[in-house]
Each structure stands twice: as C-alpha cells, then as structure tokens.
Chain A
C-alpha cells in the first residue's frame, strides 16, 4: 500500500480555556498518526485512507473561526522533499526499532 509523508501544522487560538482544550486534542490526534517534530508541527507517514481519517478527526475538533490547520503532502517522500537542520528527533517508524 502506498504511504504518504505529510506535514501537519496547526495554529490554535489558546486565549480561552476552550482553545487550550482544542490544542490538546489536536496534539493527541496528530500523535495517533505521526510524531511531533516542532512545537505545533507533526510529520506522519500514512495511507490515503488514514490521511482522510486524520483530516476528518482534526476538522471535528478545530474551530474554523479561530484556528488554522495546514496539511502538506510531501510528494516523492520526506527524503526528497525535506531539508531539516538543527536538533532533530525524528524517528523512522519503518526502520529497525530497538530500544
């Protein structure tokens, strides 16, 4: 099955208590699909169906008036489309995982 590397970036208005709750929920959903690479930026490797589900779940939580969500699909995979500098804790979930 083809997998897509995607970047999820979000911006949630946290002035209110509801906003802080939304932020927490958004982060939890993103973790179910991928990993945090910056404070509100996640990288996920998902199938098209999972991308659909992720989007659906995020839209269910966000407030479209207050928050912003951007999903970038890295065509050709992250190896080709991404240059990362500095501290990087990215884990390749498809590589050997031995702890």
Chain B
C-alpha cells in the first residue's frame, strides 16, 4: 500500500491534473458526506425560518397564493400587540406554564430521590410507568381525560360524589358535579393537571439520571458524620442536582411557553370557554387558519420566540448568579 508514493509517481509522470483531482475529492468528501443534513436543514428549517420572518412583515391571505403577499412593515407586530386575545393568550400561557411546570419539578425531584433509594431491581419498571404518559399519543390522552373529566358521566365526579356522601368528611367535598372542561373556573386547573401528569415522567428520568452520577462517597461520609436522610437530601442531593435542575427547568420553560397539544385536543374549539385555555401557540394557529391571517400569525410566533428567549436568559442569569454566589 503506497498511496502517497503512487501519487508521487503519477505526479511525476503527468504533472498536476490527476493529483489535483484526487486532492479535491479528498477535500470535498467530508462535505458531501455531511451534506444531507445541511440540505435537509436548509429546506425544512432554515427556509421556513427565514420565510416566516419575511412573512411577518407581509399581509397574506394564503388561499390566494404567494402572489397575494403585500408588504406592510411592522404593522402585523403593532396589530398583534394591540389585540386583546393575544394578551389574554399570553396570560393563559404563563398561568398554565407555572401551574403545570412548578409542581412538575417540586414532585419529580423528591420522587426521583425516593425511587433512586428505594427501588433496586424494579426501578426500571417504576420509571417506565411514570414515563408512559410522555410517549402516549395526545389524542388518546384527550379521549381518556375527556371521559374522566366529564361532568355527568366522568369518574372524577363519581368519586367526588362518593366522597361527599361520606359521614364526617362529606361536607368538604362539592355537593354538585363539577363541570371541569366546561366552566371557565375549572378548565385551567384541569388542563394544567393533564400537562403536569404528562411531563412528570420526563423530568423524573432527567433527575434519576443525574442522581446516578452523584458519588456514593459523599453519602457514605455524610452517614459517618451522622447526617440524617433529610439532611443528606438538602445538603448533598439538591446541590449536586443543580446542573440538571437548570437543564430541566430550561426545557420546561421552553416547552410550556409553546403549549399547544393538550389544551387544543382537550377542549372543543367552538366552546366559549376554550378562550380560557387558549395559549399563544393556539392563538397563532387560529390566526393563521381560522382568520386566514398568516402574516400576523408569523409576527406573533416571533413575539413568542422573543419571550421564550428572554425568559430562558433570565433563568440562565438566576442559576449562574446562584452558582457564583456559592463559589464565593
């Protein structure tokens, strides 16, 4: 095997050309091999991204074709910011993000620690059970929860009714069936619960994986020093989990601010109360497809992007400041 010598020999007999071609091939091969990703990225990610920026400065009735675009400058942004439904959708999104996001972590961290310590062989099975909702189709989830939340025929109300009939504690429960998905008072908590239920398993897996890499020596040393389980959780587990908490909270912020599926499939769009759980992502969809206003929908998407980016940045600052403070 003597590729270099062969090329040298060729180079000597027929100067430059073949050598140059081979050289080019080597130079370009990696780019060609890696090109499918870039081509797909350009077609399916970069182009839509750039197109949606351009679209947000245009008025466009999509059904009339690309020719129907009209440049309107910042008009779509001004219009979106003056729309009461946009502001309401932002309020709904933040409400749902907090009500479903905060408990996810508050429950997932201690639960992960508990599963990590208590289950040995059956741990994977338990994790699997918690993770199942995350991989279940949202349509199936909607069907199940629609049935559970049903006012007249739902299991939750049946259970509440049974509780209300108990002798001493009965008075604590509502006497009448609750219209979970039909009243503006209960619809938000009901939807938030479904989101919490769905993403708890995801966070649990993140925290469990982080728990597994905490050195055992720390706990052994703490045990020798006489630290209780609770002290070990507060002074070892939680600080060691910080990088993962940062990642998980960041993912939750990004995911929850883009909430779409759960409220969309759980609540009939035509019902008046659907406005109570209309997130910004649903509002984008409605603006585009119900109102046929794709320009404004793009503008709202970019406003949502700015909000997510700045919230993530704030989250980053909070975590890094805490870290700096601790380093001191």
Instruction: Tell me whether A and B are bound partners.
Output: no
